[in-house]
């Protein structure tokens, strides 16, 4: 009868081991420690740079099937949420695991709204940034500083405290993000308007000028809401991993969220849509697309906004955004980059190079075009990503805090440096103690 085990023979010793295969086709890396070459041997380790094939947790938050282009939050398909839900409801779903009923949703909305204000000292703190500070750097620094404003947040094993910090972070993130934007424009900060929706209020804090009450355009308010839904979580990516890894040493969630923002700051994660826009602007017109494709196929360039570590099919979020872009253009006017993007996609998807490698447009291919049409500078793109992703980070963090299997994250390494050497006084070091190549590598 078939058994859920893996039989491994160590050809160094001739010994055979039987390793259980757990639910989901998982083997525990620790099981390999029993495979030893002798009594003093440490046992085998698995080596997995960039955690390419290593599950670091069991999670109930987000499901992705990259081969089939499926993304679900708590079991609900992203297409349904983007079509029917709103960001605050989706945030509730992600954080709490279930969709709210009307009463719970009203309470949740209220609980988020009463946390949109920030302490005046946070405002003053932000005023201290240089006039041209990158808004993502400001967000990162300010969320880290918020740790000092809420010392109660360190009670991470207390459910009520976790709930309070979750509401505070989801509530305040748009405020800090908008202050960062206004700062970089030299404009006065705008306080939250809790009569508006989550995204309506965000637009008000970004773009309000002298009017008494800002009236968000409903199409743009809705588009931003859809963008927020699409970016709310994406399981164990670089920033979620940073949240969990830093959170595993039990700091308060502001410190862990600052780490997640730092991870998202990088061009390979939150900055990819900026790279996609730059590429489309560089191409400039449809007739120059074949030349770009040629360069890409020659390995000289990558097609920014194409390909994904997990999706080997059309990224379902890109499909939704491609459609959404046209709704936004009805209000903002057409961003001409869309025509180049669509033609580029058409040519690429018919090309053997892209077909063979399963390279499809990802979420970043279209999101930047929409943000740009809405008037956001590129420096704001990762900030717009961080606001909704806060819900996902907090859900991942809370799951980690409650998981009895989790401990402080502490990977192993394969040491490839020098074996033991003896220290020598500097005047006696006739020969360099480090190899020249090692010295230059170390710098």
Bridging pattern class, strands 15-20 and 62-65:
unpaired
Is 134 annotated as catalytic? no
Q: Cβ of residue 358: shortest distance to ligand COA, in angstroms?
A: 8
Nearer to ligand COA, 225 or 315 (CB): 315
State the Cα torsion 77-81-84-86 to the nearest 10°: 170
**Structure tokens given for 421:** 């050497």
User: In Å, how far are 154, 404, 409 from 248, measured between CA atoms?
Assistant: 13, 12, 6
Q: What distance in Å separates the CA atoms of residue 102 and residue 118, rounded to the nearest whole number? A: 28
348 three-class SS: helix
Nearer to ligand COA, 202 or 365 (CB): 365
Nearer to ligand COA, 332 or 372 (CB): 372
Q: What distance in Å separates the CA atoms of residue 44 and residue 47, rounded to the nearest whole number? A: 9
Q: Cβ of residue 340: shortest distance to ligand COA, in angstroms?
A: 16
Is 67 annotated as catalytic? no
Contact residues toward ligand COA (CB under 6 A) are 272, 296, 302-309, 357, 359, 362-364
Q: Cβ of residue 305: shortest distance to ligand COA, in angstroms?
A: 5
Nearer to ligand COA, 268 or 442 (CB): 268
Q: Cβ of residue 269: shortest distance to ligand COA, in angstroms?
A: 8
Q: Cβ of residue 136: shortest distance to ligand COA, in angstroms?
A: 16
Nearer to ligand COA, 73 or 92 (CB): 73
Contact 174, 224 (CB under 8 A): no
Which sign, positive or negative, has the C-alpha torsion 235, 240, 243, 244? positive
DSSP line for 199-241: HHHHHHHHH--S-SS----HHHHHHHHHHHHHTS--SS-HHHH
For the packed helices 363-373 and 272-283, what is the interaxial angle rounded to 10 degrees? 70
Q: Which residues of 285-296 are buried (b: 16+ CB within 10 A; e: fewer)?
A: eeeebeebbeeb
Q: Which of 65, 269, 351, 403 is catalytic?
A: 269
Length of the chain measured in residues: 443
Q: What distance in Å separates the CA atoms of residue 95 and residue 90, rounded to the nearest whole number? A: 9
Q: Cβ of residue 229: shortest distance to ligand COA, in angstroms?
A: 17
Q: Cβ of residue 237: shortest distance to ligand COA, in angstroms?
A: 8
**Angle, vertex CA 356, rays to CA 352 and CA 357, nearest 5:** 120
Nearer to ligand COA, 66 or 251 (CB): 66
Q: What distance in Å separates the CA atoms of residue 443 and residue 160, rounded to the nearest whole number? A: 47
Q: Which of 183, 222, 231, 308 is catalytic?
A: 308
Is 234 annotated as catalytic? no
Number of Cβ atoms within 10 Å of the Cβ of 83: 11
Nearer to ligand COA, 252 or 364 (CB): 364
Residues annotated as catalytic are 269, 308, 364
């Amino acid at each position: 009868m078939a058994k859920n085990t893996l039989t491994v023979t160590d050809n160094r010793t001739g010994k055979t081991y039987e390793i259980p295969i757990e639910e989901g086709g998982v083997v525990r890396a620790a099981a390999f420690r029993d495979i030893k070459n002798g009594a003093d041997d440490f046992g085998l380790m698995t080596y997995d740079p960039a955690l390419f094939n290593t599950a670091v947790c069991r999670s109930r938050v987000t499901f992705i099937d990259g081969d089939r282009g499926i993304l679900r939050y708590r079991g609900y398909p992203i297409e349904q949420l983007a079509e029917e839900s709103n960001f605050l409801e989706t945030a509730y779903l992600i954080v709490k695991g279930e969709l709210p009923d009307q009463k719970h949703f009203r309470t949740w909305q209220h609980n988020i709204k009463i946390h949109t204000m920030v302490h005046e000292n946070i405002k003053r703190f932000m005023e201290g940034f240089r006039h041209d500070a990158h808004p993502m750097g400001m967000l990162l620094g300010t969320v880290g500083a918020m740790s000092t404003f809420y010392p109660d947040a360190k009670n991470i094993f207390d459910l009520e405290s976790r709930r309070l910090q979750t509401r505070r972070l989801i509530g305040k993130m748009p405020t800090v993000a908008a202050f960062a934007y206004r700062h970089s424009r030299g404009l006065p900060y705008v306080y939250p308007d809790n009569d508006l929706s989550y995204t309506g209020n965000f637009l008000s804090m970004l773009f309000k000028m002298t009017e008494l009450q800002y009236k968000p355009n409903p199409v743009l308010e809705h588009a931003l809401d859809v963008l927020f839904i699409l970016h709310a979580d994406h399981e164990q990516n670089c920033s979620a991993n940073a949240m969990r890894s830093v959170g595993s040493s039990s700091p308060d969630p502001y410190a862990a969220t600052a780490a997640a923002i730092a991870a998202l700051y990088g061009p390979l994660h939150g900055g990819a849509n900026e790279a996609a826009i730059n590429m489309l602007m560089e191409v400039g017109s449809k007739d120059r697309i074949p030349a770009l494709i040629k360069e890409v196929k020659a390995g000289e360039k990558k097609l920014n906004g194409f390909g994904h570590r997990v999706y080997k099919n059309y990224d379902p979020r890109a499909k939704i955004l491609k459609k959404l872009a046209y709704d936004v253009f009805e209000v903002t006017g057409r961003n001409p980059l869309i025509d180049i993007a669509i033609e580029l996609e058409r040519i690429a998807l018919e090309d053997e190079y892209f077909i063979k490698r399963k390279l499809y447009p990802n979420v970043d291919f279209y999101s930047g075009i929409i943000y740009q049409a809405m008037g956001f500078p590129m420096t704001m793109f990762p900030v717009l990503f961080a606001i909704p992703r806060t819900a996902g980070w907090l859900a991942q963090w809370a799951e980690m805090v409650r998981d009895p299997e989790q401990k402080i994250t502490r990977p192993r390494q394969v040491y490839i440096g020098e074996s033991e050497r003896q220290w020598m006084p500097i005047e006696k070091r006739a020969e360099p103690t480090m190899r020249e190549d090692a010295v230059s590598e170390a710098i």
